[in-house]
Structure 1
């Protein structure tokens, strides 16, 4: 059952800080977004809560992890509260970034969707030369895949920490692109509330 517009507006009034995010990110998660993120964080007020909003169809998961680590360090070293506000689409690397905020510090606007999926790789391995060199090339690719799976599973654990979602469920649903609407995300505890 979806809420009426009045119920959502009433809920939004409980969180006045979310009306004017200090950091507004939209588009592909890449090094340009990281630079904008750093610039906006530097211009945020020196004290008090910082609100970070994001709308993205995805991008580079390692840049998302880098921005997330910046959030963690800021929280750990300054003890400041940082809130996440997902708008419209929080897909792929966006969910990776969102995972760096505790579940009770995450919010979505109504009609927003989160999309969680497995990391993907497109790679051609060309074998040429001495056999030992071929073995080394294959092992290097295998190690890259294994490390990517480890990083992916760390991210899955981060996004579900403190929620009603079991690790096995997210791992089972991720291969087919798991889309989660705002209200379902709230009901699962993936976000604190929907505004």
Structure 2
């Protein structure tokens, strides 16, 4: 599960790789977790790949659900691999929130505007991650977004057919 502890450990591991000369190798097997933590890891991995002059590779082991897909998408398609039994879960971020409007109309409108801005920002960030995942694949952003609406589970072989990963590692 991607949480603060996992993010801290991964960043410490990345710091060790940065101080050496080796390429970056990441194994991921997660039922999901904190979307913002996954975005942080994705950003750090992208920065490493961009500025280190070294390669980075990621392999999805068994379950690469939700936030794990965000991390997977941080790597270029040519550097993404899955084990044969791996399953990806691609879905839109979930939100459950009650919106209470009570007070003057202008105050209520401001509350609605703030919540709309939050939703629009979340959608933009989600689309950035989805765009990373489909870059270089045979799948369009719109096709992936359509799949994501229905909690899309993809077996490794199907992810390969769609061009979301470079290969299956057996």
1:162 corresponds to which residue? 136
CA distance in 2, matches of 1:98, 1:190: 10
2:26 corresponds to which residue? 52
1:8 corresponds to which residue? none
Q: State the TM-score, normalized to the length of structure 2.
A: 0.94
Q: Which of 40, 59, 62 is residue 88 of structure 1 equivalent to?
A: 62
Per-residue CA deviation, residues 45-64 of structure 1 (Å, 9 max, x unaligned), is 71131110111111111111
2:145 corresponds to which residue? 171
CA distance in 1, matches of 2:52, 2:145: 34
Report the secondary structure of 2:25's partner residue: strand
Structure 1 window deviating more from structure 2 (39-48 vs 161-170): it is 39-48
CA distance in 1, matches of 2:131, 2:16: 31
Question: What displacement does 1:43 show?
Answer: 2.9
What does residue range 131-142 of structure 1 map to in structure 2 within 5 Å? 131-142=105-116
What does residue range 15-164 of structure 1 map to in structure 2 within 5 Å? 28-44=1-17, 46-164=20-138
Per-residue CA deviation, residues 144-189 of structure 1 (Å, 9 max, x unaligned), is 1111111111111110000011122111111111111111112222
Question: How many pairs are equivalent?
Answer: 168
Question: What displacement does 1:68 show?
Answer: 0.7
Question: What displacement does 1:42 show?
Answer: 2.4
CA distance in 1, matches of 2:50, 2:13: 19
Question: What displacement does 1:67 show?
Answer: 0.4
Instruction: Give the RMSD, CA atoms, in angstroms.
Output: 1.2
Q: Which has the larger radius of gyration?
A: 1
CA distance in 2, matches of 1:173, 1:76: 30
Q: Which runs of 5+ in 1 are unaligned?
A: 1-27
CA distance in 2, matches of 1:73, 1:128: 45
